Amino acid sequence: MQRRPQVMILGTGRAVPEKILTNTDLEQMVETSDEWIVARTGIRQRHLAEPGAALSDLVVEASRSAMADAVVGADEIDLIILGTVTGDMKFPATACLVQEKLGVKNAVAFDISAACSGFLYGLQIAEGLMMSGGYRRALVAGGEILTSMVDWEDRDTCVLFGDGAGAVVLGPTDGERGLLQACMHSDGAHADLLYNPGGGCIHLPTAENAAAKLFSIRMEGREVFRHAVTSMGAALNQVLEQAGLSADDLDLLIPHQANLRIIEAVAKRFKLPMDKVYVNVDRYGNTSAASIPIALDELRRSGELKKGALVGMVTFGAGFTWAAGLIRI
Ligand code: UT7
């Protein structure tokens, strides 16, 4: 049964570093080719933060833009949730640093570690807190500087990731519009298929561990691919069924942007034509938690998010974690 939405998106924003790394640039760094990268992933370029750049600055830029779009001031935000696995520091939470930089005084701010699912987790946690905890205006962001943990000698992974941030401001619904249905899942049984071993309490920051590349992303690409297609399909199916809707009802699907072939496989499962499926992985690569809010902002600013449209969102990432949501614009 379709339930009435409780919260809606009031505004969106995004920010990416200026510098662009093309596939041709990568050809000079590792044994790869533009042809291989485009054919196997759909990626043509990605944005790259300067070494040592602060993620909080990217998130602040995206958040300011979302707050301006929503016409919501810093004094009105009472909840800040940031999905990230590449925060400024181990602690405090980068959301607290964002809070300070934005001048938001009366809010609770925290990070969520759910990798590529961080934004959709954040959206649902914010909705739950707004419904039960009385919060009125939430800033939900996803942001990553994943290139800070890329091993630039590993061609299996270094061609895949990019940096960026996206944010939305949530407020109470004005009626029929907003988050209709959502789900979140995780399964730690597959934690070792996509992870960054170092930086925690097990592998200390020694020269030996750095030489063993323990501070870089490790991924079993083929296995992750397989799980991503299955789990994203299951999550999207779940929210559609719970809402009493079918894929035909979707005006647009915004899938997590990791690989064009994953996106196409999910679209095929639901018999969705690709003109109903948003793709920007060619321009950004995989920005993890930032990919869905960046897409939302691009669509909103280009006027493609039409009032009344039904938009699906679905993601999959390390953990494993996966999630989906349906929004009436
Ligand atoms: O954000 C959510 C988590 N991430 C994902 O969803 C990513 C999921 N996985 C993938 O997107 C794909 O598995 C990859 C893009 C990572 C890899 O594509 P694939 O089609 O699964 O390739 P593969 O790993 O099976 O490798 C095929 C070949 C191998 O060579 P051999 O063994 O066949 O000789 C690789 O060594 O391609 C080779 N290869 C490359 N060649 C040129 C791997 N990376 C590269 C590269 N350039 N960058």
pLDDT digits (tens), the chain, 329 positions: 667 899 999 999 999 999 999 999 999 999 999 999 999 999 999 999 999 999 999 999 999 999 999 999 999 999 999 999 999 999 999 999 999 999 999 999 999 999 999 999 999 999 999 999 889 999 999 999 999 999 999 999 999 999 999 999 999 998 889 999 999 999 999 999 999 999 999 999 999 999 999 999 999 999 999 999 999 999 999 999 999 999 999 999 999 999 999 999 999 999 999 999 999 999 999 999 999 999 999 999 999 999 999 999 999 999 999 999 999 99
Q: Does the pTM of the predicted model rise above 0.95?
A: yes
Q: How far is the CA of 156 from the centre of ligand 1 (A)?
A: 6
Residue minimizing CA distance to atom 21 of ligand 1: 222
Helix (H, G, I), strand (E, B) or coil at 108: strand
Which ranges of the chain would DSSP assign to H, the alpha helix?
A: 23-27, 34-41, 55-70, 94-102, 118-133, 155-158, 207-211, 221-242, 260-269, 281-284, 291-301
**What pLDDT does 10 receive?**
97
* 158 counts as catalytic: no
**What pLDDT does 2 receive?**
66
With vertex at residue 193, the alpha carbon angle to CA 254 and CA 120, rounded to the nearest 5 degrees, is: 30
Domains and CATH numbers, the chain: 7-175 (3.40.47.10), 180-328 (3.40.47.10)
User: How far apart (Å, rounded) are the C-alpha atoms in residues 234 and 183?
Assistant: 10
Check if the beta carbon of residue 45 is closer than 8 Å to that of residue 281.
Answer: no
* Residue 229 to residues 232, 262, 264, 291, 314, Cα–Cα distance (Å): 5, 6, 9, 17, 11
Q: How far is the CA of 148 from the centre of ligand 1 (A)?
A: 20
User: How far apart (Å, rounded) are the C-alpha atoms in residues 233 and 53?
Assistant: 36
CA 321 to chain centroid: 12
96, 116, 158, 183: the active-site residue: 116
Residue minimizing CA distance to atom 8 of ligand 1: 225
Residue minimizing CA distance to atom 16 of ligand 1: 221
Q: How far is the CA of 220 from the centre of ligand 1 (A)?
A: 9
Q: How far is the CA of 37 from the centre of ligand 1 (A)?
A: 9
Q: How far is the CA of 219 from the centre of ligand 1 (A)?
A: 10
User: How far apart (Å, rounded) are the C-alpha atoms in residues 10 and 211?
Assistant: 47
Q: What is the largest CA-CA distance in the chain?
A: 58
158, 227, 256, 259: the active-site residue: 256
Measured from the Cα of 157, ligand 1's closest atom is: 16
User: How far apart (Å, rounded) are the C-alpha atoms in residues 196 and 218?
Assistant: 6
Residue minimizing CA distance to atom 18 of ligand 1: 40
With vertex at residue 68, the alpha carbon angle to CA 65 and CA 72, rounded to the nearest 5 degrees, is: 125
Query: What does the pLDDT look like over 217-252, one tens digit per residue?
Result: 999 999 999 999 999 999 999 999 999 999 999 999
Helix (H, G, I), strand (E, B) or coil at 169: strand
Q: How many CA atoms lie within 13 A of 261 on its CB side?
A: 12
Helix (H, G, I), strand (E, B) or coil at 235: helix
Query: What does the pLDDT look like over 36-78, one tens digit per residue?
Result: 999 999 999 999 999 999 999 999 999 999 999 999 999 999 9
3-state secondary structure 295-322: HHHHHHHCCCCCCCCEEEEEEEECCCEE
Substitution site in 43, 161, 225 for ligand 1 pocket (most atoms within 8 Å of beta carbon): 225
Q: How far is the CA of 60 from the centre of ligand 1 (A)?
A: 34
Q: Is 91 exposed, middle or buried (0-12, 13-18, 19+ CB in 10 A)?
A: exposed
Measured from the Cα of 159, ligand 1's closest atom is: 48
Helix (H, G, I), strand (E, B) or coil at 189: helix
**What pLDDT does 133 receive?**
85
**What pLDDT does 1 receive?**
61
Mean pLDDT of the chain: 97
Substitution site in 40, 217, 230 for ligand 1 pocket (most atoms within 8 Å of beta carbon): 40
Check if the beta carbon of residue 263 is closer than 8 Å to that of residue 255.
Answer: yes
Residues having CB closer than 6 A to ligand 1 are 32, 36-37, 40-41, 116, 155-156, 159, 194, 221-222, 224-225, 228, 258-259, 262, 286, 316-317
Q: Is 20 exposed, middle or buried (0-12, 13-18, 19+ CB in 10 A)?
A: middle
> 108-112 and 138-145: which strand pairing?
unpaired
Nearest to 82 by CA among 105, 106, 46, 57: 57
Q: How far is the CA of 231 from the centre of ligand 1 (A)?
A: 19
User: Cβ of 255: how many Cβ atoms within 10 Å?
Assistant: 29
**What pLDDT does 19 receive?**
98
Nearest to 1 by CA among 244, 245, 283, 256: 244
User: Cβ of 138: how many Cβ atoms within 10 Å?
Assistant: 26
User: How far apart (Å, rounded) are the C-alpha atoms in residues 295 and 107?
Assistant: 26
Dig out the tokens for 58 from the structure.
Answer: 């990217």
Length of the chain: 329
Measured from the Cα of 317, ligand 1's closest atom is: 2
Residue with tokens 């299996």: 156
* 185 counts as catalytic: no
Nearest to 270 by CA among 293, 294, 249: 249
Residue minimizing CA distance to atom 29 of ligand 1: 156
